[in-house]
């Protein structure tokens, strides 16, 4: 007996489908899909959120010195002439960064095996669409936003709500959402 649903796909296609669905569930908070897919998505999503909850505070804050280019009022880099060449002027700035403990780093890498990279597009009607896109770090979102919500909860991070059969093939449709 198999421990998972095959969903009528080859293994690579099934893994890609489930990774995409889990990424969208964690990014948007809820998605609409079939009941069989939702039950498989739930397994993956629950384990990822549980990992994030367990490792959310497992880091140390470290202060480092960083070189940052100096900017003028318009936001352009300030350049000065040295030996006949224009060179960017840098300032030394102290920054505080989060340094992961080994177990949190391992959890981060396990999450990255499942989650796809997410690119957030600007709102419709905005000029310079490509310039205004930004990458969303889903692992940081899990550790910083999702995990603190579920810190006092022992499992059961998702909910499946049945919404009836789909028109066309009659497959049972559901909404799976983060509780």
The pLDDT, as a whole number, for residue 75 is: 87
Range of the domain at 18: 11-57+102-178
Cβ(33)–Cβ(41) below 8 Å: yes
Q: HSE (CB half, 13 Å, CA atoms) of 113? A: 9
The pLDDT, as a whole number, for residue 135 is: 93
Asked if residue 174 and residue 86 are part of one domain, the reply reads no
Whole-angstrom distance, CA of residue 43 vs CA of residue 153 = 17
Asked if residue 123 and residue 81 are part of one domain, the reply reads no
Asked if residue 168 and residue 106 are part of one domain, the reply reads yes
| Domain end call among 44, 67, 100 | 100
Whether 4 is covered by a domain: the verdict is no
Cβ(173)–Cβ(38) below 8 Å: no
Asked if residue 113 and residue 156 are part of one domain, the reply reads yes
Domain count, the chain: 2
CATH number of the domain within which 52 lies: 3.90.1030.10
Taken in order 96, 102, 42, 114, the sign of the CA dihedral is: positive
The pLDDT, as a whole number, for residue 2 is: 80
The pLDDT, as a whole number, for residue 137 is: 95
Asked if residue 41 and residue 125 are part of one domain, the reply reads yes
Cα–Cα distances in Å, from 173 out to 49, 161, 164? 24, 9, 6
Asked if residue 49 and residue 120 are part of one domain, the reply reads yes
pLDDT (tens, 9 = 90+) of the chain, 179 residues, equals 788 999 999 999 999 999 999 999 999 999 999 999 999 999 999 999 999 999 999 999 999 999 999 999 888 999 999 888 999 999 999 999 999 999 999 999 999 999 999 998 887 776 777 777 889 999 999 999 999 999 999 999 999 999 999 999 999 999 999 99
pTM: 0.84
Asked if residue 25 and residue 96 are part of one domain, the reply reads no
The pLDDT, as a whole number, for residue 33 is: 97
């Amino acid at each position: 007996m198999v421990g998972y649903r095959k969903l009528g796909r080859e293994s690579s296609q099934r893994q890609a489908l489930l990774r995409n669905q889990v990424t969208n569930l964690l990014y948007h908070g809820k998605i609409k899909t079939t009941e069989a897919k939702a039950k498989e998505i739930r397994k993956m999503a629950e384990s990822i959120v549980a990992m994030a909850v367990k490792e959310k505070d497992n880091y140390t804050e470290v202060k480092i010195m960083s070189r940052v280019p100096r900017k003028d009022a318009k936001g352009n880099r300030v350049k000065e002439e040295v030996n006949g060449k224009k060179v960017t002027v840098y300032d030394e700035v102290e920054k505080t960064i989060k340094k992961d403990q080994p177990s949190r780093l391992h959890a981060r890498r396990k999450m990255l095996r499942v989650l796809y990279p997410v690119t957030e597009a600007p709102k419709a009607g905005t000029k310079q669409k490509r310039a205004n896109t930004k990458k969303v770090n889903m692992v940081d979102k899990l550790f910083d936003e999702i995990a603190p919500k579920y810190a006092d909860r022992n499992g059961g991070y998702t909910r499946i709500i049945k919404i009836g059969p789909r028109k066309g093939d009659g497959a049972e449709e559901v909404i799976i959402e983060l509780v």
